[in-house]
Amino acid sequence: MYNEIKTSFIAKIENVMLARTIGVGFLVNLDLKLNFVNEVKTIISESVTNAIVHGCLNNEKKYVNFNLSYDDVNVYIEVEDFGVGIADIDKAKEPLYSTKVDEERAGLGFTIMEVFSDKLEIKSKINEGTKVLMVKRYKWL
């Protein structure tokens, strides 16, 4: 079994809810447990928010790519922005670190993604953007 959806949307914060809704709707036929679905929604929220707020700097002229797929065992979540990029990925992954110190940001986005995912991979280039891939296992064979 394999299915995939690819979409793009403007880097507007209200599109975080859109991404969550797309994710839940896309995965509904897998008949997943509620706690699993809630963790996936959280992963989507954190990754899309990071892309919009930190990657694209809320620039509504930029787009975020959101790809979701699954196979017989895993759900794959990929979020890509074409924004400023991350200079130091290890630093960005530190709990409580935020590039938006003047705003009320917890600095826990990557920490939450890492906790709720079975795999977190971050690729970034300065002034080109960031791609985040998360894998979450839903079935053990």
- Mean pLDDT to the nearest integer, 113-137: 97
Catalytic residues: 46, 50, 105
Return the C-alpha torsion angle 96, 78, 49, 99, nearest 10: 40
> pTM for this structure?
0.92
> Looking at the predicted structure, is the pLDDT value of residue 108 above 90?
no
Encode pLDDT of 24-65 as tens digits.
Answer: 999 999 999 999 999 999 999 999 999 999 999 999 999 999
- DSSP, collapsed to helix, strand or coil, labels residue 7 as strand
CA distance 81 to 67: 12
Can you spell out the DSSP letters for 68-111? EEE-SSEEEEEEEE-SS--S-HHHHTSTT--S-TTS---S-HHH
